Amino acid sequence: MKRSLTALTLALGLCAAASAQAQTTEITFWTWYLSPKFDPYIKDTIAAFEKANPTIKVKWFDKQASMVQDFVASVNLGNAPDVVNLNIDETAKAAQNGFLRPVDALTSPATLKATYYPQSLKNFTVNGKVYGYPWYGSLNEGVLLYNPDLLKQAGVSAPKNMTEMLNLVKTIKDKTGAYAWVPALKDPGGASFMGYFFSDGLAVYDAAGKAAFNSPAHVALLQRYVDLFKGGYLPEDALRKEAFQLATELYPQNKVAMIVGGPQALNRIKDTNPGLYAKTVVTTAPLGKAGVQTGTSMGLVIPTASKQAAAAAKFAAFFANNANQVAFAKIVPIIPTTSAAQNDPFFKTSSADPIAKATSLVGASGRFINPGFKTPGNSDDLYKNFSDNIEAALLGKKTAKAALDDTVTYWNANMSK
């Protein structure tokens, strides 16, 4: 009898184990450029999710330069990951191509609205549907950080707005030899200069949704940058490198006096020139005539091809919740996109340390993250055309007016919904 009971118990145990194993759901998660620096944070957050959800297991992969190509290939091959980290532009493109599930069909719209800033959700909305859980973000203007020695040598004070900034460019270069700052003139995959139009209150589209950024005011603003570039007052490398990368290379060498951007620039300065980092002054960013910030954020999306959409949505919502975004902000100066973050004590502390001060200035500013214009359909081609025409104007191959006229004509002929 005892042997029979033992055998029965063992059999029941094996059945239970097999049943538990059969009920386990495995999902795959792709991040973008986060490993190895943030491995502990990512792994700890995954472990916390799995502990709270023991029937869901997460396999994490970090993608880097090949992220977008790998994602598109995985969709075409039918083995797409379940949760993917994409930015606003790539989310819009993937949604327009039918690659993504609307997340407001997986998580209630009421919960999304209670968790995230309205603009954060709007950034990931395509044709009325939300396609991404807003994750960490950044502000293009963010803060102003500057080398006080160079500004003193030039005899100027920190600019309070972009009009003052543009007026200081020649003085700083002429008196110190350093560039005043590195504006975002051209980037390989976006249309960063378009943000200057938004900052000055100049519309990108008209009421009918057509490109309309070639008014006299748009032309005059571009012409201002063209004149400075031709005069040697803006670095030529700004046509070959992203502004953030170039600015964080030149500032530690005392070749740039100011950086307008997110607190993350300070990490690089601290690593490469600790002495300059220690005396760098951080203050509020100079804004354009509209008095608005521009910025971008990452999101977590669920591909249409995911076979575990419910589990994937549960994981994505957990990873992008307020507690986990604030925890991430304590490791690196990202800006949470959750509305509760604005009341977090972490962002209300005062400090003389540049990174801590910058974080306190912008960390609770997720509500201002806004690219400034809706991602157009066929954005890869349109952004390239825009960047090529901006470059042509800066190099004197076209007038500012011809460059913008040509771009608007191209956009309106090739923009898809």
In this prediction, residue 293 carries a pLDDT of 86
In this prediction, residue 417 carries a pLDDT of 62
Segments making up each domain of the chain, as ranges? 25-138+296-362, 143-293+372-413
Lowest mean pLDDT among 1-5, 45-49, 189-193: 1-5
Nearest to 185 by CA among 177, 176, 194: 194
- Rounded to the nearest integer, the mean pLDDT of the chain is 92
Neighbouring CB atoms inside 10 A of 349's CB total 11
Asked if residue 232 has pLDDT above 80, the reply is yes
User: How does residue 118 score in pLDDT terms, banded at 50, 70 and 90?
Assistant: very high
Query: What is the per-residue pLDDT across 151-192, written as a single tens digit (0 to 9) for each?
Result: 999 999 999 999 999 999 999 999 999 999 999 998 766 778
Contact 120, 368 (CB under 8 A): no
In this prediction, residue 15 carries a pLDDT of 47
Please report the beta strands in 228-284, taking only residues with DSSP state E, as ranges in sequence order.
Answer: 258-261, 281-284
Query: What is the per-residue pLDDT across 280-301, written as a single tens digit (0 to 9) for each?
Result: 999 999 999 999 888 889 999 9
In this prediction, residue 50 carries a pLDDT of 98
Asked if residue 120 has pLDDT above 60, the reply is yes
User: How does residue 5 score in pLDDT terms, banded at 50, 70 and 90?
Assistant: very low
Which tops the pLDDT comparison, 189 or 39? 39
Contact 407, 212 (CB under 8 A): no
Q: Which two tokens stand for residue 79?
A: 């083995």
Asked if residue 8 has pLDDT above 60, the reply is no
In this prediction, residue 14 carries a pLDDT of 47
Compute the distance between CA of residue 144 and CA of residue 152 in angstroms, rounded to an integer: 16
User: How does residue 263 score in pLDDT terms, banded at 50, 70 and 90?
Assistant: confident
Mean pLDDT along residues 234-258? 94
Asked if residue 378 has pLDDT above 90, the reply is no
Asked if residue 134 has pLDDT above 70, the reply is yes
Q: Which two tokens stand for residue 414?
A: 């090739």
Neighbouring CB atoms inside 10 A of 358's CB total 25
CATH annotation of 143-293+372-413: 3.40.190.10
Task: Specify the CATH architecture of the domain 25-138+296-362.
Answer: 3-Layer(aba) Sandwich (3.40)
Compute the distance between CA of residue 315 and CA of residue 135 in angstroms, rounded to an integer: 13
The rounded percent of the chain whose pLDDT value lies above 70 is 94
**Fold match between domain 25-138+296-362 and domain 143-293+372-413:** yes
- Antiparallel, parallel or unpaired: β 143-146 and 129-130: unpaired
In sequence order, which ranges of 97-193 are alpha helices (DSSP H)?
109-115, 118-123, 148-154, 162-176
In this prediction, residue 95 carries a pLDDT of 96
CB within 8 A of 114, min separation 6: which ones?
A: 339
In this prediction, residue 2 carries a pLDDT of 45
Which tops the pLDDT comparison, 356 or 111? 111
Contact 338, 246 (CB under 8 A): no
Say what angle helices 216-230 and 400-414 make with each other, to 10 degrees: 130
Asked if residue 9 has pLDDT above 80, the reply is no
Contact 49, 319 (CB under 8 A): yes
User: How does residue 372 score in pLDDT terms, banded at 50, 70 and 90?
Assistant: confident
Mean pLDDT along residues 111-123? 97
93: left (phi over 0), alpha (psi -120 to 50) or beta: alpha
